Each structure stands twice: as C-alpha cells, then as structure tokens.
Chains A and B, each alone.
Chain A
Amino acid sequence: MTDANPILKADDLSKRYEDGVLALDHLNLEVRPGEVYCLLGANGAGKTTTINLFLNFIPPTTGTCFIKGIDVNRDPLEAKKHVAFVSENVMLYGNFTARQNLDFFAKLGGKTDLAKNDYYQVMRRVSLQEKAFDQRVKNFSKGMRQKLGISIAIIKDAPAVLLDEPTAGLDPKAATEFLEIMAELKNEGKAILMSTHDIFRAKEIGDRVGIMKEGRLVMERTRQELQYEDLVKIYIDYMKSEPLAI
C-alpha cells in the first residue's frame, strides 16, 4: 500500500431505489494503488450497489464516486477507461471462443491493436488450459469462465479493478489460483475493490477489510489490525447485532 492518491473513492455515497429501499447509506471509502479492499457483508448489505455506482450502472442519490479523480456520474465514459470489472458469474458470449470473447472485450476496453499471441499470453497467465483458447465458452466450467473474466480485466490494463463476489462457487484450487492472480495485480499497482462473502480469503488478500450492513460501512480494519483480531468473530457479531436505526 502506498500513500498515493486514491484510484477509487466513494464520497458520502448513498443510493435509495425507486421502491424506497435505502441500499447504500453515506458510504466513504478509498482504495489506493497497490491496495486490495475487501467489502464483506450479507446479501443486500450494499456491496453490489457500491460496485454498480462505481460503474455508473445506476445513478447515486447523493454523494460522488471517483475513479482516478474523475467524477463517475459527471464523466462516466472517461472514468470507465480506468476500471476493469469482474463479476460473480462472468458474463461471456457462449457461442464465441475464449479468444473471440477476449478480443471483443479488449476492443471495448480500447485495446485495438492486439495480436492472437497477446490473447494467448494473457490466457496462459491466468492458467487457462491451452486447448480451451479456441473452444466455445458455453461448455466452460465456472472456474474457466472466471479465469477468462480475469483475462479480460488484465488485458484492459486499467489502474482499478472491481470484483463482485469473484470467488463465489469456485472450488478451493480455482479460488487459490484466483487469489494468486489478484496478488500479482496488486503488485503491479492496481487498486482492487472486491465484494465478497468469503471471510477467510478477504483476510488473506485484503489490505483493508470493510464490513457492510444495511447499506452502511459499519467496520473497517487494516491487515495489520486484523493480525491481532478474529475477523470471523467480528463479522458474526456485526451480523447478529440489532438492525441499524435508519
């Protein structure tokens, strides 16, 4: 972790949906280059809403998201240049091969001059089997899809990476491989914001861990602080506590 300016910044961010549900309540967080920030929380805690706001999928009710200092709501297209996204169920085109998917999303990410070998190289880096490179992805396992999703994020080479429940449903080996790649990206200086239910992996990879409940960030600990605390116990205590007064 460095003291550089944050790549990702949520400033007093709130989101209330049309049906009146307050999904996010005055969230403040920052993720700096080379830092992994893990957002923990139960379903409906506001983790995915946070990511959706950073990606300008939905407009905030109040507050601002910044990516590399750019107000996401004001200039979403410029902000999205600097962020890559991997979701829980990596969304790919089933009739396309792995390379065709990678090529399409690379071009959307602004990488228009890549050759076949560049794609193969990235897929090798995430340990995708060679024989799968030119196979249609509709028959891929979840782990393979996840690897391809990370390839897409890697090839975009954006300074920020948003991950929404990336290890959900992965077998332990695939999850471990995934964390290794995250560690590499972190070492390359990427700012990584990851929402997850996986407390153990959050503790393992996160430089900072935040716990969200009912749209609020109720706790935040650094890696150093967590050396002396039991994250599982903290998490369960927060989940068991009384509903927040909103």
Chain B
Amino acid sequence: MWKTIVKKELLENILSYRFPLFGLIAMLLIPLGMYVNQLDYAKRVRDYDEQVRLATQAASSLSIQDVMAGTVAIKGFRRPALLSVYTRGFEGTLPRYYEFTQEGTKPGESSSSEESILSVQGKFDFVFLVQMVLSLVALLFASDVISGEKEAGTLRAMLSNRLPRDAILTGKVAGGYLALWAPFAGAFLVGLLLLVLRGFPVFGGDTPAKILIVFLAASVFLLAYFILGTMISASSSKTRTALVAILLVWAFFQLIMPKLSDMLAAIVHPIRTETQVSLEKSLLAGSLGMETAKELGRQYDLIFGSAPKGAANDEASPERKKWDPLKAGIEQGAKERKAQQLGAIDETYRQQKRRQQDLAVNLSLISPSAAFARLVADVCGTGELERTRYAEAVQAHARTLDGALFSKVKRTLMIHAGGGTSLGFSTEPVDFKALPQFSIAPASLADLFKANWKSLLSLAFWLIAPFAAAYVRFIKYDVR
C-alpha cells in the first residue's frame, strides 16, 4: 500500500509541469555553479603557486643582517581549499597569507578585495543554490502535498479505502521527495562529471568521502525543507494559504534568522574590535620594552659607570661577568612578562569572542539553512573550522619561526640615566634554506563531525519535528 502511494506521488510529480521545469533549472545551475567555481579555484591555485615560489626565493636570499635590521617578513601562504568549488564560505575573506616578523604576525590581503559589489549578495556556488533556490523549490514541491489532495477531494477518495493515514503521509513524503531528489542528484552527478573532465582531483585522499558528505548534507537539507513544507501543507486546507505560509517561513529561515543571530549575539555579548585589542597590545609591548630598556640602562650604568675603560668589551672582565647573566635575566624576565601580559589580553579577547560566536552559532542553528551551510563549509575547508585551524597554524608557525630565526638575533636597547640610548646585537647562526614551511593541518572527518555536532543535531531536529507535527495534524484531520 505504501509503495502504491510512493509510486503515485512520483508519477503525479513527473507528469506535472514542475518536474521538467525543476529538472532543467537543476541541470543548468548546479553544473554551471561547479564549473564557474572550478575556473576560479584553478586561478587562485595558480596565484598561490606563483606567490609561494617567489616567497621561497626571497627567503633563501635572506641573511642574518636582514634579521638584525628588522626588515625580515616571512610570508606563510594558505593554499586555496580544494572543495571551495562547492562553497566559497570564508575563502574570500580569509587572508591569503600572514607575514611573520620580529614584531609579530600581520595578515595579508584577502581575495575579497578583488570581488565586485555583487558578491555581498552571496557567491554563486553549490551551497548558495541549495540554500536559496532549491530550498524554495523543496517547499513549493511540498506546498500541495496534503492541502492539494484536500482541495481536490482525492484525499477523501484515498481514505475511503483500507489505508492507514500514516502510510499516506510517509508515502507522500517519500514519493514527493524522490521526485525532487532525482533531478537534484542527477544534476550533482553531472556537475561532478564536469569537474572530473576538467581534471579536477576528485579522487585523492578523503576528497571522495567529503564530496559524498556534501551531497548527503544537501539531500538531508532538502528533505528537511520538504518535510517543513509538508507540515505547512498538512496544516492548511488550501494550497494558496500554504504557499503564503511557506514564503514567510522561507524568508525567516533563509534571510532573517542567519543574519539576525550575529546581530543579536553582538548586542547580548558586546566585545572590542580586533583593531582595539591589537592597539592595546602594541601599547603594552611598547611600554614593557621601554621599562626593560630603562632597567637595562640603569643596571649597565651601575656596573660599568666606575669600571675601567674597555671593560664592557672585555668578556673576561669582572664587570662583564657580572653584567652578562644580569642582562640575560632581565631580558628573560621581560620576555616572560611580555608573553604573559600579551597572552592574557589575547586569551581574554579569545574567550569573549568565542562566547559571542557560540551564541551567534547557537542562534543561527535555529535555521536549518545555517546548520547546512556551516556543516558543508567545514567539510569543504572554507568554514569556521578552517578559520580556527588557520589561526592556530599561524600561531604555531610564529612560535617555530621565533625559535628558528627571530630569537637567533638579540637586540638589546638600553636607555641610560642621562637620557642617552644604546643598541646592541648578539647573533647565532641561521640556516635560511632550512626554515620551516608554513602549513595548515587538514581537518580529519572526525574533526569535522566533532566541530559540527550542533549542525547535525539541528538538521536532525528539522527532519523529525516538522514530520511529527505534520503527522499529528494529519492524523487528527477531520475529512468533511
């Protein structure tokens, strides 16, 4: 009986005008989106390769004098995410590279600087299509799934038979969704085939698994919207009423809720901007540097003030034997103090920001659309997870470079009691050809699921809750 309903629903959809129309739209837009983004990805990879080559060349010609002069800026480039062909996510807003200097790290420009004003409306990619176009199509496909039968009276005809209502509901959902899913799946496969023909490396590493997850997530997302539409349809006696409700629900979930969540989080948990924090850090670093320089100058004057001439340059003099460990102690203490105080500012800011972001994420996950977009962006390496890993990789690389390069040159600034200053250097040998390369550790599938359990939970909720509501409405419906 259930199969009969599924078949009928499928056939009814296939025979209607909307099936070929949707098939055509899907077949045109989905492969086109993949093709366009593949071209863009290929261009970004070419740029990346060229920039890395130039930066490696520049790094190999560095000398210790450059480090002493404080002009060294090592660039660490982020390779464009392979699966950004499916969703751009943060791809356009993440810095293409970071500059590592003795003074700290500095982000380079992002590719968004090359984008037109039209990009504020969202990038034309697979996720955009699924979120903005196919979600609406899914709702429209479901708009008359129950109300249409009520209006046409065919529900009475069906229910006059030995047919449980739950079989009707599940059969209609399954058949209706299948009619939506089949052209979507076909278009996805055509897009994938196009990528393969263009030489896109879809078969390496965990890429096939990730593409499969993208496809499954999109399928589940569309099913969630189809069920949402079914719930609205089951609660309406007229398809026209259902359509109005569907458009309102779509606008709320697609346009309002994801944007509102960031604004609400910023109101509930206001935090300082990154620029303010950066300014505070540089003021503090300057002030600490000044204190250290003054202390070093004071101690230097105390030790060498009454010492015979040339004692400062004679490593065997008793004054130097006293000065060297004292200087090292002051510099080490200053370094630790600086690290601790700047670290405290960073940590406080990170915590505040994490709290605000967690709130924004939790609020946005009320919308299945945000849950889907976050999940797929993370799978494709263009989401929050990639941003975090990028930031972590930058911090780790900064530490590594500090140990392998910047700490090999010690600059000692001293401010003496009379107001005079002096600058001293001490160096250790550096192998510039063996400097560590910047890289971001790719997220494993386990990392992806761990980071996205809330998104998965949200999608599961949007599958179950509307279906349960539709079920209750339909079971209790009095056929008159």
Chain A residues near B (Cβ < 8 Å): 52, 55-58, 77-78, 80-81, 83-85, 87, 89-96, 100, 104-105, 107-110, 152, 156, 162
Contacts and interface: CB of A to CB of B under 8 A. Distances in A.
A158 to B, nearest CB: 10
A111 to B, nearest CB: 11
Interface string B1-44: 10010001001100110000000000000000000000000000
A105 B156 CA distance: 12
Interface centre among B153, B157, B159 (most CB of A within 10 A): B157
Given A58-B478, A91-B156, A107-B1, 9 more contacts: A57-B159, A57-B478, A78-B162, A81-B162, A87-B156, A91-B157, A96-B12, A105-B161, A152-B157
Nearest to A89: B153
24 contacts: A52-B480, A57-B478, A58-B480, A77-B164, A78-B162, A80-B161, A80-B162, A81-B162, A87-B153, A87-B156, A91-B153, A91-B155, A91-B157, A92-B154, A93-B8, A93-B154, A95-B12, A104-B4, A108-B1, A108-B4, A108-B161, A109-B162, A152-B157, A156-B161
Contacts of A58: 478-480
A110 B159 contact: no
Contacts of B159: 55-57
A54 B478 CA distance: 13
Contacts of B156: 55, 57, 85, 87, 91
Q: Interface residues of B toward A: which range?
A: 20 to 34
Interface in B64-113: none
User: What are the 9 closest A-B residue pairs judged by CB atoms, nearest first?
Assistant: A91-B153, A57-B479, A85-B160, A108-B161, A95-B15, A91-B157, A91-B154, A107-B4, A80-B162
A107 B8 CA distance: 11
Contacts of B16: 95
Interface of B: 1, 4, 8, 11-12, 15-16, 152-164, 478-480
A108 B162 CA distance: 7
A166 B418 CA distance: 114
B160 A80 contact: yes
Contacts, number: 73
Nearest to A153: B160
Given A57-B156, A81-B162, A104 B478 contact: no
A93 B13 CA distance: 11
Q: Which of B12, B152, B156, B478 has most chain A Cβ within 10 Å? A: B156
Nearest to A91: B153
A214 B339 CA distance: 90
Contacts of B11: 96, 100
B12 A93 contact: yes
B1 to A, nearest CB: 7
Nearest to A92: B154
A222 to B, nearest CB: 28
A171 B159 CA distance: 29
Contacts of B158: 108
A109 B153 contact: no
Contacts of B157: 85, 87, 90-92, 105, 152
B396 to A, nearest CB: 62
A93 B157 CA distance: 11
A219 B158 CA distance: 33
Contact of B162 (A52, A77, A94): A77
A107 B4 CA distance: 7
A81 B164 CA distance: 12
A108 B171 CA distance: 13
A100 B157 CA distance: 15
Nearest to B3: A107
B145 to A, nearest CB: 13
A80 B158 CA distance: 11
B83 to A, nearest CB: 40
A100 B158 CA distance: 14
Contacts of B161: 80, 105, 108-110, 156
